[in-house]
Amino acid sequence: MAARPRPGSDAGIPSAASGAGELFQYLRDGKPRTKAELAELSSLARSTITLRIDALLASGLLAPYGEAASTGGRPPQRFALNGAGHVVLGIDLGASHAAVAAVDLAGKVLEETSVASDIADGPSVVLDRVTDLAHELLQRIGLADDQVVGIGIGVPGPVEHSTGRPANPPIMPGWHEFDIPAHLSRTFPVPVLVDNDVNVMALGEHVTSWSGVDHLLYVKVATGIGAGIITNRRLTRGALGTAGDLGHVRVVDADDSVVCRCGNVGCLEALAAGPAVAARLRAAGLDIDSPQDVVDSVLRGDVAALQAVREAGRSIGSVLATCVSLLNPSVIVIGGSLSLAGEYLIAGVREVVYQRSLPLATSRLRIVAATTGDRAGILGAAALVLDEVLSPEAVDALVDRQRQPARASG
């Protein structure tokens, strides 16, 4: 049981609005609601609701919203999250691109942009580039820097989530242990949360297409293979943040002559990631240079390419069958560049997962293609930081600050 510390008022009397953050959670979806509806949802007394709503209105997080239908008399007032005025930045850094979005507090993208950007340019260059992009975005939608309340950022490598520092990222030279939050905070002094791209994409798919689902597995099939795991509606990072690292799991009945770059044989990545499929097709005489060529060949209907992608799907499926038995998710989302090859990859995954799992575990399991495409990164990065800045604790702290405007920092 983790006791949860929370910032409290030190004004001498307990804050009547303490708990406003909890009430606010019912309004995070952006839908307007009356006090009666909130009382129904929260089981709180009407008087308590009134106090908390007043506090949230004063904080600027909530605003009155039109009027509800009424059976007579004065129509009841509705309230909704005040999307205007505050945004978070969702940032997606890839090996060769940088994307930035300004996202309102209800998770709606207001404006976004993406540029070619080599991650190997190093952290200072890349992060300053991103900051410039952010300024441009904000200008376009008429917002000032101080209206940014948080930044979420996904990077293409392992990250120590608690500190926001990459940890020995193989394709990010110069980024090892770089303090990303400190650098971005020089321009935007707000909470900055960093995670690896797969976790961020898992969040992006979850909030966009599967927000009602408690247990979801997102699998990225690209240069490598990795998974983002959502259990009990939360991202699971594991003890050292390596959860979901499926690239070097041994595949059942794998061809042992394929040696992986990790030194083991039979690794999933050495059989089913983009470069492995490309290499196999090249060896068969096809004119294939890159994983993108594989996708193009599949889309052209090249039979050898179709077969190779489907076989990669089977290898991935044999590993996911174990994941299904272990975690019993309701949804597996397949994303990453190789998933652009269409249904062939997923057909291979489905074939083996359904063959190798007990009926109950797959009775309601859906295995689907990612829907957010290359926007999963910015959407997930925004969701990462929204969960932080709109948490009950963070909202309570904001409300408390608004109630004590005369106090200096303390």
Q: Least distance from C-beta 35 to a second copy, angstroms?
A: 14
For the chain, give percent helix, strand, coil, nearest 5. 45, 20, 40
CB contact set of 1 (below 8 Å; sequence gap of 6+)? none
Contact positions with a second copy (CB under 8 A) in 343-372: 356-358, 360-361, 363-365
| Strand positions, DSSP E, 75-221 | 77-81, 87-93, 97-104, 109-116, 148-155, 159-160, 165-166, 192-196, 216-221
> Could you give the CA distance from residue 214 to residue 203 in angstroms, rounded to a whole number?
12
Residue 341 token pair? 């090859």
Interface mask (CB under 8 A) for a second copy, residues 284-323, using x and -? ----------------------------------xx-xxx
Q: Least distance from C-beta 96 to a second copy, angstroms?
A: 25
Q: List C-alpha distances in Å: 196 to 15, 137, 139, 348.
A: 38, 24, 28, 27
Residue 395 token pair? 């909202």
The residue (of 143 and 319) whose beta carbon lies closer to a second copy is: 319
Region from 72-80, 128-136, 172-180, 241-249 binding a second copy, contact rule CB under 8 A: 241-249
Contact positions with a second copy (CB under 8 A) in 14-53: 14, 16, 18-19, 22, 25-26, 28, 41-45, 47-48, 51
Region from 3-11, 87-95, 118-126, 293-301 binding a second copy, contact rule CB under 8 A: 3-11
CA-closest candidate to residue 199, choices 164, 167, 239, 158: 158
Region from 108-116, 233-241, 292-300, 332-340 binding a second copy, contact rule CB under 8 A: 233-241
Q: Least distance from C-beta 283 to a second copy, angstroms?
A: 25
Q: Least distance from C-beta 121 to a second copy, angstroms?
A: 26
Region from 5-13, 138-146, 149-157, 173-181 binding a second copy, contact rule CB under 8 A: 5-13
Q: Least distance from C-beta 290 to a second copy, angstroms?
A: 26
Q: Which amino acid is at 409?
A: S
Number of residues interacting with a second copy: please give it, by CB under 8 A.
80
Region from 134-142, 185-193, 245-253, 367-375 binding a second copy, contact rule CB under 8 A: 245-253
Q: Which of 12, 285, 405, 410 binds a second copy (CB under 8 A)?
A: 12
Contact positions with a second copy (CB under 8 A) in 255-284: 262, 264, 266
Q: Is the separation of the CB atoms in 403 and 55 below 8 Å?
A: yes
Q: Which of 69, 240, 406, 408 binds a second copy (CB under 8 A)?
A: 240
The residue (of 11 and 115) whose beta carbon lies closer to a second copy is: 11
Q: Least distance from C-beta 303 to a second copy, angstroms?
A: 29
Is 163 a binding residue for a second copy by CB under 8 A? The answer is no
Cα angle 145, 149, 153; round to 5 = 95
> Could you give the CA distance from residue 399 to residue 394 in angstroms, rounded to a whole number?
9
Cα angle 248, 252, 254; round to 5 = 75
Q: List C-alpha distances in Å: 22 to 14, 48, 132, 193, 204.
A: 16, 12, 35, 22, 24
| 378 CB burial (10 A radius; 0-12, 13-18, 19+) | buried
The residue (of 303 and 326) whose beta carbon lies closer to a second copy is: 326
* β-strand pairing of 331-335 with 366-369: parallel
Region from 72-80, 85-93, 242-250, 368-376 binding a second copy, contact rule CB under 8 A: 242-250
